[in-house]
Amino acid sequence: MKFSQRHKYIFIEVVCFLYILLFVYAAGSKFLDFQNFQTQLGQSPLLSAFAVYVSFGVLLLEIVISILLGIPKLRLPALSLAVGLMTMFTAYIIIILNYSSFIPCSCGGILEKLGWHEHLVFNCVFILLGITAILLLNHGKKALRVLFITNIASIGIMILLFFTSEDIMTRENPFIRRFDQYAITKIDQTSLQNPSFYLAGSDNGKIYLGNFAAPLQMQVFDTVFKDKKQYTIRLDRDDFPFRSAEVRIQAPYFYLYDGMVPVIYKGKITDWNAGVIYNGNHFFTKAAVIDSNSIAIRGQQKNTGENLMGALYFNNNVSIKYNPDILEKQIDGIFDTDGTFEYSNGLKRFVYTYYYRNQYIVTDDKLNVSYRGNTIDTTTKAKLKVIKIKLSGDTKLGAPPYMVNKNTAVFNNLLFVNSSLKGRFESEEVWDQASIIDVYDISKNEYVSSFYIYNIGKSKMKYFLVTDSNLYAISGIVLQRFSLGNTIKKAMKK
């Protein structure tokens, strides 16, 4: 009997020592690299929205439980808490393994080297050791009841955190990005002759590049950059004083337009001959092709100069229809409503994304507003200093603008936004080395994830385009191709 009691005592002491060693070591590792610990929690689908509270709470719990385990009279409740905390960690891993594919481990030190399955086994061993020690300490029903309630509560808390955090992150994101390390994979790249190229569109395994310096020159690559061809657009009229001509591809047609003239040409990509389809008095600064008979434009109101969305229709006669309710004025109606304009052929929706505030607008192909969504940053009002020159009457920016969203691309239901703002728990060093793309599901009005596109030398990404399986980006004089990962493809509706 004495031998049995002695072995029980030794076993309980060893288990308590192992738990103390584990928690003190884990707490110390987290404390020494606390910023990284918070960053990892901020990228977790279970804990993103509660990263600050959880980071302090876990650290405090590990320290408190370690102290309680060192007090013999408090060993029973201390072991119950220790097992509960390990059960919570285990539930976290199980949910990660079954419902996520890109979440980093939030442990510190040597435990971070373990894989998810190894970590699961490690946790289960400690849970079994803790339960055995509790049963050796007290065989009573009360101990079993406390143990059962503690474990059920731990699992329940983790499940509640998962569903609550997911809802907050997708709908009410507190500017915490969820970086998906498998969102894209760089496949290859090719050099361009100069930095004047831009992405004009894609179709049927081909990528089309326009050139601001030579507006009538087109370069066409196959999707793997093995075949490159150059074409010259031939116009039926070339007597216009072009100022900002651009080309957009909507296969089998291409469109060349300059809203400052204003003029729009249309031609087929099979021969690159273009004829004038519009030369009127409706000036515009943005355009997006709807179909072969209609183009959406952003023009300006005659009296105020404020931006205004509308659509040109080329049926029997050219007509235009404006919708003044799309863009919402905050300051001047000109700079504060500036932004990007994309059309999703797959979803038959337009997306207008403001440059200087955290909002994008989704409309149908008739420019009727479906809803107004928000990007994950917190800039609800444009931060601009707008001045009016008395002598000329011109409106200008009196200081560099506070840019929120630089550029966008749309494919089917996904909106890709090149953000200018650093989120919570993000490294300044990485921001200097890469551009950030945030992905939104415009069919659900939800944030999906984020990923990096690293600079080419000192050149940041300037233009990008998304297809059903690839992302193409121009950085300086380099055109890159990235394959889309499974998480992006799963979110992309066909």
- Whole-number average pLDDT of the chain: 87
What is the Cα–Cα distance from 297 to 315, expressed in whole angstroms?
Answer: 17
Q: What was the pLDDT predicted at 77?
A: 87
Q: Are strands 234-235 and 273-278 parallel, antiparallel or unpaired?
A: parallel
Compute the Cα dihedral for 456, 461, 467, 468 and give only its sign. positive
- 28-42, 130-144, 333-347: which has the highest mean pLDDT? 333-347
Question: What pLDDT digit, counting tens, does each position of 388-408 carry?
Answer: 776 666 777 777 788 999 999
- Does residue 109 have a pLDDT over 80? no
Q: How confident is the model at residue 292 (pLDDT cuts 50, 70, 90)?
A: confident
Residue at 127: amino acid letter: I
| Distances, alpha carbon 95 to alpha carbons 56, 81, 147, 254, in Å | 22, 21, 22, 48
Residue 3 is predicted with a pLDDT of 44
Q: Tell me the pLDDT band of 355, cut-offs 50, 70 and 90.
A: very high
Domains of the chain, CATH where assigned: 5-172 (no CATH), 184-491 (2.120.10.30)
107 has a pLDDT exceeding 60 = no
Residue with tokens 């980093």: 104
Question: Does the pLDDT value for residue 175 go beyond 80?
Answer: no
pLDDT at 481: 96
The three-class DSSP label of residue 266 is strand
| Per-residue pLDDT, 358 | 94
- The answer to whether 255 and 268 have CB atoms below 8 angstroms apart is no
The token pair at 233 is: 């657009």
Pick the more confident residue, 484 or 91: 484
pLDDT digits (tens, 9 = 90+) for 12-60: 899 999 999 999 988 888 888 787 777 677 667 667 667 778 888 889 9
Query: Which pLDDT score is estimated for 195?
Result: 93
**Angle, in degrees to the nearest 10, between helices 2-32 and 75-99:** 50
